[in-house]
Structure 1
Amino acid sequence: MPLFQWPRCSCERSAPALIGNIVSLPTVIAIIGPTCTGKTALSIKVAQTLGGEIIACDSRTIYRHMDVGTAKPSMEERCGVPHYMFDVVDPDVPYTVAEYKVQATDAINDIFARGLTPIVCGGTGFYSRALLEGLVIPEVAPQEELRKEFRELAEREGNEALFQKLVELDPVTAQRLNANDLMRVIRALEVSIFCQKPFSEVVSKSDLPFSVVWIGLRPSSRELLREAIARRFEEQLRSGLVDEVERVYKTFGPCRTLLNTVNYTEFIAYIDGKTDFQSAKEESLTHNNQLARRQLIWFKTNSAINWFEFDQFSGDQLSQSVLNTISQKQ
């Protein structure tokens, strides 16, 4: 099949119901924001106070064995609060936002059924939109032949050449991605071609059977966030980041997840002898800061978010202020 010809097939189908037969509108708490702003610690305090359980909203912590590099909270750090959507698949298994929505919705159903409060916590904006803003995502299985063609094009002509194909087919989706976000560029292209229409037109919205209280954490300045990222990165190195990257790389090889995840792609280059250790460190820090910037830009489009500058609070002041806001909004 030619690379960018619409095939004769369709993915139109009805979306599954989100929350069964619930008539009232219970509340989901969403705690979102850029990396390294204290979302995990806050979500645990909120869960302990309200009687809640936490659903991770992160496109990298869903992968098993990628713990230190993704800053996945340890069992001790989870303080006995149940967490969902961690360690869902191995790094070499393709995983889509549509799959996340189905599984995370099941977790919401289960938490509501037991009379508890679901708390969605994370920094992946597209995942939070799919789950909490009613996006209906087409359930398109991976198209391996198409993916192979896309990857070969990227390897032969560069990521930018492949990205320009997405710009041509779906400029709306291209606006929220970048050329180096190869996995998502490929996914948008394959869904567009499979569905015979741009990905941005395939995705629709439906009403939610629950309300959402949005809590956002951000710094009062970019410099504070850069400092926080640098401190956490040094802690990750002390906690065995390089050993973890080497172990996962040895087990799963150069799979796309590893090659497109901050902290892993940089140290894989070091392990392969393509760069030195200091350069890998500097690249990781640069890419972590770029990730935080993209996350801030993404979440700025959501006017429902109640923002808190985490560095303006001390002790339990932040969690208390957030709990007061949740109480007022429910």
Structure 2
Amino acid sequence: MTPPSSRLSDQEHLKKLSKSVPSFLQREFSGSVMTMYNGDFGSVDVQGSIHFSINYVQKLREFHIFVAECRDLAAADPKRGRSDPYVKSYLIPDKIHLGKKKTSVKKKTLNPTFNEILRYRISIEYLRTQTLVLSVWHHDTFGKNIFLGEVEVELSKWNFDHTHMNDLPLKARTRATLAPSSGRGEMRLAVRFLPKVIRNQAKEVPTTGEIHIWVKECKSLPLIRATIDPYVKCFVLPDTSRKSRQKTRVLRRTADPAFNHTMVYDGIREADLAEACVELTVWDRDKLASNLLGGLRLGAGTGKSYGSVVDWMDSTPEEAALWERMMASPNEWAEGVLPLRMMSSAKTAFK
């Protein structure tokens, strides 16, 4: 991922990177396991089971899925009575794009043994907002992979002290619409922290880092009037001074603005990351005034900053998870698509 070269100028919009988020309806672990599914995933009688365990390793702050084996899978090649299966995992509705994880492919078998661990670096708070989907597929080198079945585990209800093996029947996949949003729209962005930026090698000055905030685009902003002219405003709290404020340009007559604008804040120490919060708010520029459309806050979400209780340290699990990913991988971009929410801006004097 390459950021725009200028810190404050707007660049030509990058090609849209759209990823569909899978959503499924079936959540029961009992009932018939012989269901015909036809569509984009091939045609097969779903059958068999998957053996797995899940565990949250607090010390590593990682979610581990141990995929042991599958038994009595459907044959993607009925003439030879075999498949080339592998297991794929998703977390849904994942807005920070942790991505899919996959096991290796086992050739010519309906009873594959994997004994592999799929790992996600994620906070337990965000994990409890997700549903784990384990799907089994036949790998086709020259054609489309064929869906062999799946299971879903609602992690909000899961007892993470339970680390024993689970043996669950595979289910058919059903397409469904995505869950309704808050109506504020969403923002695609990326953030990164550069720990040490040496500005003047001739002088002995303490080295501090930089936070880069790359506002890529917004989607489905609320139409509070016939047409809106949106822009994004940013502060790194607790600093609400004019110096801290940065803005994108105003894009006219669109509810789906593509800003592709990077903001840079320097003088940031690694210790500040647990105390600071990046507030991004989206505004509609009207002739008389600007109207707040929605926003988000990236931070630890602890409710405190430098020992004081503050109302703006209120990041949602999704927002805090993106911030945590940034802190865990210095110098690398952490990207996500986050829902905008209605909130009071920490600083409204300069619109």
Between Structure 1 and Structure 2, the one with more helix by share is: 1
Between Structure 1 and Structure 2, the one with more strand by share is: 2
User: What TM-score range do you get, normalising by the shorter chain?
Assistant: under 0.3
Q: Which has the higher contact order (CA 8 A, sep 6+)?
A: 1
Larger of the two Rg values belongs to structure: 2
- Structure 2-normalised TM-score? 0.23
